[in-house]
Amino acid sequence: MKNRIRRIEVHDRSLDPLSAEVWITVSPEYHTATTEVRGRLVGPRCLYSSTIEVAYPLRPLPSSLGTLTPPHSPGLTVRAIIPEASFWEPQCPFLYQGPIELWQDGQRCDCVTISHGLRLLQKKGRSLLVNGRPLALRSHKITACSDKEATQLRQTGYNLLIAPVAVNSLGVWEQADRFGFLVLGQLGEDADELRWMEALRPHASCLGWLSAECRTLSAEEAVDWYMTHGNPKSV
């Protein structure tokens, strides 16, 4: 019997660096008693650091938690426990990556590879805290970003990219995850922006969104607007 993954949601259940816990909820096309989720997260991986990578298997939730899942996330939920976790931040963008497999009646039906960065974004007044530490933002507007451009921007001291939430710019967030940039998505550029926001929100680099009225602002003015009006990952 065939089955497929319709949606995956990743939720940081605990950001305790001694033992971080990541919950992964998989929504399959259908769910029976023989539907399973298997897989692993492997890491940490970072462009700027030599690491010893470890595989952390996905395990069922403990029976004491019953069928508890993250809010608004029906589906099959598994978890990975990561001792001595390495957190994602612009200076050292550590990522954990691996396959999420859907099994049905003892056969693997579908597989999606995910990439996840453990990090906490907070606003305190007009300051941004990344994992509890303040980060001074230096922003640059961009529509696409190659490896060479990302390296040059980083060497120049930029740590925040502003990119349209549009089909031709979706790769900016993936590049930012790996190279260590935060990203503000500019709304008002694509009719399908709600769809793209849903896809981009899980990225470690995703800081939040700029309203359509910010399109004519400079990069510095857009950051000022966000620090006054925005919240991490909200409109």
For 12, residues 6+ apart whose C-beta sits below 8 A from its C-beta are 20, 21, 22, 23, 118
In a domain, residue 76? The reply is yes
Q: In this structure, are 112 and 95 located in the same domain?
A: yes
Distance CA 225, CA 167 (A): 24
Percentage of the residues of the chain whose pLDDT score is greater than 90: 89
**pLDDT, tens digit, for every residue of 96-107?**
999 999 999 999
In a domain, residue 75? The reply is yes
**pLDDT, tens digit, for every residue of 7-62?**
999 999 999 989 999 999 999 999 999 999 999 999 999 999 999 999 999 999 98
Q: Which of 28-32, 123-127, 153-157, 184-188 has the lowest mean pLDDT?
A: 123-127
pTM: 0.91
In a domain, residue 210? The reply is yes
Q: In this structure, are 128 and 57 located in the same domain?
A: no
Closest among 161, 182, 152 to 88, alpha carbons compared: 182
Residue type at 105 in one-letter notation: D
Distance CA 180, CA 131 (A): 14
**Angle at Cα 70 formed by Cα 44 and Cα 98, nearest 5°?**
25
Q: In this structure, are 64 and 145 located in the same domain?
A: no
Give pLDDT, residue 83. Answer: 97
Indicate if the alpha-carbon torsion angle 191, 195, 198, 200 is positive or negative: negative
Q: In this structure, are 111 and 40 located in the same domain?
A: yes
Q: In this structure, are 20 and 112 located in the same domain?
A: yes
In a domain, residue 170? The reply is yes
**Final residue of a structural domain among 116, 142, 173:** 116
* Structural domain harbouring 179: 121-229
Cβ-based neighbour number of residue 80 at 10 Å: 22
Q: In this structure, are 46 and 110 located in the same domain?
A: yes
**Final residue of a structural domain among 62, 87, 116:** 116
Q: In this structure, are 106 and 125 located in the same domain?
A: no
Beta strands in the chain (DSSP E): 5-14, 19-28, 35-45, 54-57, 59-60, 76-83, 95-104, 107-116, 121-124, 127-130, 133-135, 139-141, 160-164, 182-186, 206-210
Q: In this structure, are 145 and 86 located in the same domain?
A: no
Structural domain count of the chain = 2
Q: Using an 8 Å Cβ cutoff, are 160 and 136 in contact?
A: no
Give pLDDT, residue 3. Answer: 95
In a domain, residue 235? The reply is no
Q: In this structure, are 109 and 10 located in the same domain?
A: yes
Decide: helix, strand or coil at residue 59: strand
**Final residue of a structural domain among 98, 116, 134:** 116
CATH of residue 97: 2.60.40.10
Closest among 110, 109, 111, 84 to 96, alpha carbons compared: 84
